[in-house]
Amino acid sequence: MIRPGKMILQVLQSLFQKPATTRYPFVKAPMPKGFRGKLRFTSERCIGCRACMRDCPAAAITIRKVGEKKFEAEIDLARCISCAQCVDSCPRDALEATPEFELAQLDPTKLKVVFHANLADVEDEPATKT
């Protein structure tokens, strides 16, 4: 047990010391280089090899073909363990890990992120008349 006189000395000393904690979430700390946060998908780079799907240990990625050489990705952030194995296995660097780590949600449907392919440059097939 600390004696009362010694405790007062400790309290007075702590008034003049810098705090040991950070002011998070009011002051955001920068993430270190190589931090593995939320995934980002670039559909223009994807060739549809699905290596990311095969290598994901949590089965959190689904790649779907939506057009001629156009693919979209659905990433289930509730399943993702942020290991970035998918990023390492992608031969075209279509996936990258961002420094974003604040992913908590009350609605579980918001944890499924779909990265749609840019279909603006894909020509629609003309409708045939019958």
Q: Does residue 76 contact residue 30 with C-beta atoms inside 8 Å?
A: no
pLDDT band for 52, please (50, 70, 90 cuts): very high
pTM for this model (two decimals)? 0.73
Look at strands 61-67 and 95-97 and give their pairing: unpaired
| pLDDT reading at 48 higher than 90 | yes
More confident site: 9 or 58: 58
Domains of the chain: 31-115 (3.30.70.3270)
Q: Does residue 37 contact residue 101 with C-beta atoms inside 8 Å?
A: yes
pLDDT band for 126, please (50, 70, 90 cuts): very low
Mean predicted confidence (pLDDT) in 49-65: 96
Instruction: Indicate the residue type of 46.
Output: C
Backbone phi, psi, residue 8, to 5°: -65, -40
Backbone phi, psi, residue 11, to 5°: -65, -45
| pLDDT reading at 20 higher than 60 | yes
**Separation of alpha carbons 89 and 97, rounded Å:** 13
73: nearest Cα among 60, 89, 82: 60
